[in-house]
Amino acid sequence: MATIKFGTSGWRAILADEFTFSNVRIVTQGIAQYLRQEKIGQLGVIVGYDSRFLGELFARTAAEVLAAHGIPAFLCDRETPTPTIAYHVVKHQLAGGINISASHNPPEYNGVKFTPSWGGPALPETTRAIEQRIQPLLHGEHIKWLPWERAQADGLVRWYDPRPEYLTALEGLIDCQRIRERGLRIVMDPFYGTTRGYLDEFLRRYAGAKLAVLHHWRDPYFGGGRPDPSAQTLRELRETVRQEKAHLGVATDGDGDRFGVVDADGTFIEPNVILALVLDYLVAHRKWKGGIARSVATTHLIDLVAAYHGLTVYETPVGFKYIGELLAKGAVILGGEESAGLSIQGHVPEKDGMLACALVTEMVAVTGKTIQELVMDLYHRVGRVWTRREDLPITSRMRELLDQKLEHPPSSLAGMEVVDVNRLDGCKLILSDGSWFLLRPSGTEPIVRCYGEAKTAEQLERIMRAGRTWLCET
């Protein structure tokens, strides 16, 4: 391998190809050297893993490397959600956290997520510093680790149960009493992943919901698909919600940082819409005031809600690390991105799918309305937009032309003038009627993402079609 690069959310690669025990040692040693350079390694690192193949052994390998560098490793005793790891980093003022996870990627992938001491996803300056330390290791510099028995005997690796404290913290963020009073019936799908025993335990024991749970066992294949909660992957959840006459269906991705929501009639509700609804609910019912952060690819419906309530919107590049930075500074009360990421003030500066599902549950309990009733009320007050994302594989020809297209955007699209070009992340074309089209390469997969938003479904279709034509034309 010529290099190891951190993408939007950590380093990811295909198992047994680039994701190997040797490369996990290399990445972990790069992190360990970075922490020692920062003089915080002695604070310790929490190490977790998701439900993919050999996750616990890769996590143990990372702990052995940390131990060899004199850094205490708190090794999670079972699969652990990424936001739970972030919570313990902040709560116990650790040097950082490592999660062996590829999040929502297909089952053949695995990855390493690094959470620095402030609790959010690592910022580019941090990952660049780690990558610089990785390069000599890839070219033969000595890699060291302590044998497992020695690391345990020396007390540098300790087993750790992160669940109780996290669930107690989540209870403090949610109005569990209102959920309990409403007697909600909920169906949950943890997608064979890390939130088993977390979100279901919270909803049942803390919030008193009547709960049915799908896929409540570990499956490294994630049922034969990718653990990404979407309208397509949640067909069984949607059907079960209808059959059980439940009030709500909730889901999380493989490592628990993304959410999926299904209404009482089995309709999947897009994450963009959920973000706007939760924002409106928190402002209207909890009387929260402050800034709002969203990524450049996220719906401007959030802007409409913010304008309705007199709030300021901060636009960030794609990647929750930028939103997390604003949350950590106290600049915003809520941050969200269209790829089902959300967190709020008073919680970790990392996206948390369990928190999002719990907030939606509270919202339904307090308002006594279905999600679609809440959506229609929101549209009536602030206006409606139509949003879509399409992921296209990058062909060799497309790769050759992509940089040139991003550098030289068209002056018009779908028969409308391009009045502004936003280069915060990728190339976002703002059109004369306020609609927009964004083109950006993925930071984690070999695809290019196309986003569009318009005031009507017909206009959105024209914009997406014109955007694909622009992308693919030679």
Torsion, Cα of 198, 202, 205, 207 (10° steps):
-170
Question: For the domain that residue 289 is a member of, what is the CATH number?
Answer: 3.40.120.10
How far apart are the C-alpha atoms of 231 and 271, rounded to whole Å? Answer: 11
Which of 124, 139, 161 is the C-terminal boundary of a domain? Answer: 161
Residue type, 461: E
Which of 145, 161, 177 is the C-terminal boundary of a domain? Answer: 161
Sort 97 into a burial class: Cβ within 10 Å, 0-12 / 13-18 / 19+.
Answer: buried
The residues, any chain, with a CB within 8 Å of residue 286's CB and separated by 6 or more, are none
Q: Which two tokens stand for residue 159?
A: 């087993």
Together in a domain, 120 and 142: yes
Residue 326 lies in a domain: yes
pTM (2 d.p.): 0.96
* HSE of 131, CA atoms in CB hemisphere, 13 A: 15
How far apart are the C-alpha atoms of 280 and 455, rounded to whole Å? Answer: 20
Residue 196 lies in a domain: yes
**DSSP 8-state class, residue 118:** T
CB contact at 8 A, 196 and 190: yes
Together in a domain, 327 and 450: no
How far apart are the C-alpha atoms of 421 and 340, rounded to whole Å? Answer: 25
Q: Which two tokens stand for residue 171?
A: 């209870």
Q: Specify the pLDDT at position 445.
A: 72
Nearest-CA neighbor of 114 among 14, 262, 12? Answer: 12
Which of 161, 186, 210 is the C-terminal boundary of a domain? Answer: 161
Together in a domain, 414 and 279: no
Residue 19 lies in a domain: yes
Together in a domain, 370 and 273: yes
pLDDT digit string (tens) for the chain, length 474 residues: 468 999 878 899 999 999 999 999 999 999 999 999 999 999 999 999 999 999 999 999 999 999 999 999 999 999 999 999 999 999 999 999 999 999 999 999 999 999 999 999 999 999 999 999 999 999 999 999 999 999 999 999 999 999 999 999 999 999 999 999 999 999 999 999 999 999 999 999 999 999 999 999 999 999 999 999 999 999 999 999 999 999 999 999 999 999 999 999 999 999 999 999 999 999 999 999 999 999 999 999 999 999 999 999 999 999 999 999 999 999 999 999 999 999 999 999 999 999 999 999 999 999 999 999 999 999 999 999 999 999 988 877 777 778 888 888 999 999 999 999 999 999 999 999 999 999 998 866 778 899 999 999 999 999 999 999 988 776
Together in a domain, 269 and 173: yes
Together in a domain, 403 and 462: yes
Together in a domain, 100 and 173: no
Q: Which two tokens stand for residue 147?
A: 């044998």
Q: Specify the pLDDT at position 136.
A: 95
CB contact at 8 A, 338 and 319: no
* HSE of 136, CA atoms in CB hemisphere, 13 A: 10
Together in a domain, 199 and 322: yes
Segments forming the whole domain that contains residue 400: 386-472
* HSE of 83, CA atoms in CB hemisphere, 13 A: 30
Strand order in the sheet with 157-160: 11-14, 109-116, 96-100, 45-49, 73-76, 157-160
**DSSP 8-state class, residue 42:** G
For the chain, what is the domain count? 3
How far apart are the C-alpha atoms of 443 and 63, rounded to whole Å? Answer: 27
Residue type, 321: K
How far apart are the C-alpha atoms of 233 and 272, rounded to whole Å? Answer: 17
Residue 1 lies in a domain: no
Q: Specify the pLDDT at position 264.
A: 98
Residue 3 lies in a domain: no
Together in a domain, 207 and 297: yes
Residue 319 lies in a domain: yes
CB contact at 8 A, 417 and 426: no
Together in a domain, 147 and 214: no
Q: Specify the pLDDT at position 2.
A: 61
